[in-house]
Amino acid sequence: MKRYYFDHAATTPLAEEVLAAMLPFFCEKYANPSSSHALGRNVVASVDEARDALAALFGRKAKELYFTSGGTESDNWAIKGVMHANRDKGRHLLVSAFEHPAVLETAAFLSREGYEVEYIPATPQGFVDLDALASMVRDDTVLVCVMAANNEVGTLQPLREAAEIAHKKGALFFTDAVQAVGSVAIPKEADLFSCSAHKFYGPKGVGLLCVREGVRIERLLHGGHQERSMRGGTTPSPLVIGLWKAASLAIDGADEETSRVRTLRDRFLRGVLSLPNTALNGDSERRLASNANVCFYGRRGEILLDNLDMRGICASTGSACTSGAVHPSHVLLAMGKKEEAESSIRFSFGRDNTEKEIDEALEIIASVVKKK
């Protein structure tokens, strides 16, 4: 059966060019980059080159970048590391209510440790409520977290404005940019940001945390002297090279890819929204070009998703299934969309999708939706 992969927000296939760049670092240039012998020095030169190139791509300094295992680790580190290292300023943490669990669960953990965590509400269009943020930020607020692009509804957040509000009170600003690389630039106002290679055609298991020079942060992993003693553990050189290559392809080719994917996504939306009882979740303009989060009123998202899967369409709901229980999307609930929270599906498009696939998938969706 043909499979239609419309789940690029969950992960993307590794690009062939990325694999080619990584391959020599498995069996030929395999030395530990921390080894002082010639083979090790060879590898560390490539890792340093990758760090310099990534810094240039993101407009940051090489010494501000730390390689991690991906988005979840970077988010954990940013939040725990900053809150722990800045206890003299306060214990107040603000996170937007529709963050990824990597942020929300970290915040919940800190709250159990005695930190004061508050959640910034969202607007019905899927944006962080800036007025609410302005009224919530305090002199003892250490960190404000607002993601760059929401992973469920794709809305692009007003990062500059949010960072400005945080900075006025002396708070630091962190953005989870996991969904944003290759789509929108991460503004210089962000004191910290995280990203993850597998979201932009790179390998799984590697990401970045960028920490502006001068920001106080505690290390997350105690161990060797890798990553300037801030994150112990042997540097995964093939993954780092993959991250570099994937980020350069994604950022350098961003304009072209964004307009191609937007055309596909809009073609999909025209078709799907012509079906009865459907609506788009989240703002129609300020959103990722790849994202279409659609509500099918009166249907259960997870059942519809299973039916689509049986016909070859791979998409996802915002809900997570835990031991048989289905939870409504916390993102849509935060936007005040109670009904939509149980009846929506996220379709996210990417590099390999074609117009033909969109048209075929629309026919399948129409026939699945017609069946009660």
The verdict on 236 binding ligand PLP (CB under 6 A) reads no
The verdict on 72 binding ligand PLP (CB under 6 A) reads yes
Paired sense of beta strands 313-314 and 192-196, if any: unpaired
The verdict on 350 binding ligand PLP (CB under 6 A) reads no
User: Among residues 44 and 208, whose Cβ is nearest to ligand PLP?
Assistant: 208
Name residue 256's amino acid.
E
| Residue pair 343/295 in contact by the 8 Å Cβ criterion | yes
Known catalytic membership, residue 321: yes
Q: Out of 92, 100, 299, 330, which residue is the one contacting ligand PLP (CB under 6 A)?
A: 100
The verdict on 187 binding ligand PLP (CB under 6 A) reads no
Tokens, residue 267: 């073609």
Point out which residues pair with 145 in neighbouring strands.
95, 174
Sign, CA torsion 334/340/342/343: negative
Radius of gyration of the chain (CA): 21
CB of 178 to ligand PLP, least distance (A): 4
The verdict on 179 binding ligand PLP (CB under 6 A) reads yes
Which residues from 148-177 bind ligand PLP, rule CB under 6 A?
151, 176
Tokens, residue 307: 């039916």
The verdict on 102 binding ligand PLP (CB under 6 A) reads yes
CB of 104 to ligand PLP, least distance (A): 10
Neighbours of 352 (CB within 10 A): 11
Q: Which residue is nearest to ligand PLP (CB)?
A: 71
CB of 8 to ligand PLP, least distance (A): 11
Q: Out of 94, 136, 178, 368, which residue is the one contacting ligand PLP (CB under 6 A)?
A: 178
CB of 220 to ligand PLP, least distance (A): 14
CB of 103 to ligand PLP, least distance (A): 7
Which residues from 113-152 bind ligand PLP, rule CB under 6 A?
147, 151
Point out which residues pair with 321 in neighbouring strands.
326
Size of the site for ligand PLP (CB under 6 A): 13
The verdict on 71 binding ligand PLP (CB under 6 A) reads yes
The verdict on 182 binding ligand PLP (CB under 6 A) reads no
The verdict on 92 binding ligand PLP (CB under 6 A) reads no
Name residue 343's amino acid.
S
Please choose, out of 12-20, 66-74, 260-268, 362-370, the segment that lies near ligand PLP by the rule CB under 6 A. 66-74
The verdict on 317 binding ligand PLP (CB under 6 A) reads no
**Site track 191-220 with ligand PLP (rule: CB under 6 A), x = hit:** -----x----------x-------------
The verdict on 293 binding ligand PLP (CB under 6 A) reads no
Q: Which residue has the tokens 């080719």?
A: 253
User: Among residues 209 and 308, whose Cβ is nearest to ligand PLP?
Assistant: 209
Residues forming contacts to ligand PLP in the complex (CB under 6 A) are 70-72, 75, 100, 102, 147, 151, 176, 178-179, 196, 207
